[in-house]
Amino acid sequence: MKRSLLTTAFALTFAGAASAGPVGLIDDFELPGLTDYTQYKVLDQGAATNTVFDDAAGVLGVTGVGADGAEQTLLLRGDYTLEVFEELIVDGPAAIGGANDLGLAIGQTPTGLVGAGDNRSLADFLFVSFRSPTQLNSRGFNGNSEVGQVQSFGVTADAVFIARTDTNEVELGWYDGATRNVMRTETVATTDIFNNVGFYTDVRGDGNTAGDLDNLRIGLVPEPASLALLGLGGLAMLRRRG
């Protein structure tokens, strides 16, 4: 179900100022089947669709089947949107086998992104992905222009996040336990980029795998950003819970 900013403010009031969510669990992958998601190719250097997502083991994974070139894919659902002061989170780290990425994504509703070739400029999207258990990667498209690659090496990431900190402002990063690490910030060209949430993967070889993402959810952007932006003076009296 989609949430409004009022719902977010209400949840923050009663959860306490320290609460980073979850506002709501979207998918724990305990019930097999990905029918709520739609798969879109945004780059295909081969001749066929080779990216296969699977949640049969209770976590999200992906396999390259007959892959004959790099294939970058979004797996999105439009029944949840990312509102201001909310962040999309998924637990990791991903188990990476071969040259692959698997991570979190937001994006416009893509249209016609199914054929071979480079379709990445046809819809705005941003992602933060695991390239290995200790290496994160982030790129995307914004206003039909490529958002340059940012990588973080030697990380300990228990989860990755994409946070909407203002109407057109986004933070991407990871959690190391309770420590929140911002990898990059972006100003997006259109708020339509928040209309879908889900995953991104880049599969580059036949039989390559990436997996073990779990508990896709939306939480609140942690304080002090959420308090300052919401301007809820009464919340200032709340204290961090141990």
Is 2.60.120.200 the CATH number for 5-231?
yes
Q: Over the stretch 123-149, which tens digit does the pLDDT of each residue have?
A: 799 999 999 999 999 999 998 789 999
Residue type, 12: L
200 vs 233: CA distance, rounded Å: 38
Which two three-digit tokens encode residue 85?
């002061």
Q: CB within 8 A of 11, min separation 6: which ones?
A: 19, 23, 220
Q: Over the stretch 48-99, which tens digit does the pLDDT of each residue have?
A: 668 899 999 999 999 888 767 778 889 999 999 999 999 999 999 888 877 6
Q: Residue ranges per domain, the chain?
A: 5-231
